[in-house]
């Protein structure tokens, strides 16, 4: 007969297993390695117009920054969820049984920004972050930077995503004035005293902001900077002062005077279009003349109108993925260099400690025969 071992007092009182550290908790930003505890690294990408290029710019910046070796968190505050889709992680709905009766309900397959805002608890944003490892966003570590590889050999940053889906559109209907603080509390404050705030783990946090006013206020309240992007067409230009009014409203009536507009970027720009040139000149004159609501500095970087951008969206891959293909290489290089120049200007603005070092490496990484005129603007 085989005897069965009996538990001893020692085994019964064994120490509990150590807590596991999540993938998000293992992410370390440059701010952390440099012991910098005060930073302004949250940027809301804004424009009160649909199709202005907010998701496009968010994805282009993410691509540029992670290839520079930095960790980037994308918070999708648009009910369309385009940023998440572009990163290859669209929110899927799954059927669940109702608690009573035979009705079938639907719920998202992952935690989203909706649950984050509904919670509103300090530091809870960490729990909803998905670390992106989708096939389209896997980078070739053995290729040079100008072919889609990392700026520094073997160093690619992490991409995090807090996704969104259509139900976000109805969420503001229940918000009280104090509820506009919720995203800020979940992102900028640690869950425990002396802990790490979710925003501190990332070199840059980009909020892809919806056109809806209430969602724009929630996003701006969580950010230190706004970065405007729009098309060089009439409705796109008309939306610039409207977006500035929203930012000013956040400062004056939502008690967040700490948000600044870092700049304005033109999207899908075609220099051969006379109307586009005229509209951008009119905008520049309005800014120079200090007309009301035209405070946003106009950055000298235009995202070119190129099919490679929409191709990247269709494939849920970064534009840099096309740097290794001969037929798409030239337009991809032009788009990537613009995105990289914008990313470096952003890093300068937020005071990132590696901004200067990365700029020098970037200039050296592109062969002279493949540099566009944006390289000159980018080092100015």
- pLDDT, one tens digit for every residue, the chain (380 residues): 444 445 444 444 555 555 567 899 999 999 999 999 999 999 999 999 999 999 999 999 999 999 999 999 999 999 999 999 999 999 999 988 878 887 888 899 999 999 999 999 999 999 999 999 999 999 999 999 999 999 999 999 999 999 999 999 999 999 999 999 999 999 999 999 999 999 999 999 999 999 999 999 999 999 999 999 999 999 999 999 999 999 999 999 999 999 999 999 999 999 889 999 999 999 999 999 999 999 999 999 999 999 999 999 999 999 999 999 889 999 999 999 999 999 999 999 999 999 999 999 999 999 999 999 888 776 65
Which run of H or E residues covers position 22? none
Q: How far is CA 155 from CA 66, 70, 350, 364, in A?
A: 9, 9, 22, 17
- Rg of the chain over Cα atoms, rounded to whole angstroms, equals 23
Residue for token pair 């999540």: 22
Token output for 117: 């805002």
pTM of the model as a whole? 0.93
CB 91 within 8 A of CB 165: yes
Token output for 131: 């670390």
- Which long-range contacts does 278-283 make (Cβ < 8 Å, 24+ apart)? 279/232, 279/233, 279/234, 279/236, 279/237, 280/232, 282/237, 283/237, 283/240
């Amino acid at each position: 007969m085989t005897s069965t071992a009996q538990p001893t007092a020692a085994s019964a009182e064994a120490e509990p297993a150590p807590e596991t550290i999540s993938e998000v908790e293992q992410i370390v930003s440059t701010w952390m390695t440099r012991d910098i505890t005060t930073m302004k690294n949250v940027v809301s990408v804004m424009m009160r117009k649909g199709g202005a290029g907010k998701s496009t710019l968010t994805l282009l910046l993410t691509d540029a920054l992670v290839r520079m070796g930095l960790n980037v968190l994308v918070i999708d505050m648009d009910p369309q969820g385009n940023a998440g889709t572009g990163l290859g992680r669209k929110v899927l709905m799954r059927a669940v049984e109702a608690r009573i009766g035979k009705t079938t309900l639907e719920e998202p397959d992952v935690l989203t920004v909706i649950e984050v805002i509904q919670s509103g608890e300090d530091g809870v944003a960490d729990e909803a972050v998905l670390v992106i490892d989708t096939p389209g966003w896997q980078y070739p570590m053995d290729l040079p930077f100008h072919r889609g590889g990392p700026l520094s050999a073997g160093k690619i940053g992490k991409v995090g995503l807090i996704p969104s889906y259509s139900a976000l559109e109805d969420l503001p209907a229940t918000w009280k004035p104090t509820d506009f603080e919720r995203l800020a509390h979940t992102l900028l404050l640690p869950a425990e005293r002396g802990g790490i705030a979710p925003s501190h783990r990332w070199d840059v946090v980009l909020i892809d902001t919806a056109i809806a006013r209430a969602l724009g206020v929630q996003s701006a309240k969580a950010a230190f900077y706004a970065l405007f992007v729009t098309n060089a067409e009439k409705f796109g230009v008309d939306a610039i002062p409207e977006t500035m009014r929203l930012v000013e409203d956040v400062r004056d009536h939502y008690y967040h005077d700490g948000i600044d507009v870092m700049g304005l970027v033109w999207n899908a720009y075609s220099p051969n279009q006379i109307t586009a040139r005229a509209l951008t000149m009119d905008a520049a004159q309005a800014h120079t003349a200090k007309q009301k609501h035209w405070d946003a500095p106009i950055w000298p970087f235009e995202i070119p109108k190129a099919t490679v951008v929409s191709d990247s969206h269709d494939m849920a891959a970064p534009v840099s993925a096309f740097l290794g293909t001969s037929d798409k290489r030239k337009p991809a290089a032009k788009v990537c260099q613009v995105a990289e120049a914008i990313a470096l200007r952003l890093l300068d603005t937020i005071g990132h400690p590696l901004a200067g070092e990365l700029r020098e490496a970037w200039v050296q990484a592109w062969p002279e025969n493949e540099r566009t005129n944006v390289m000159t603007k980018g080092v100015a």
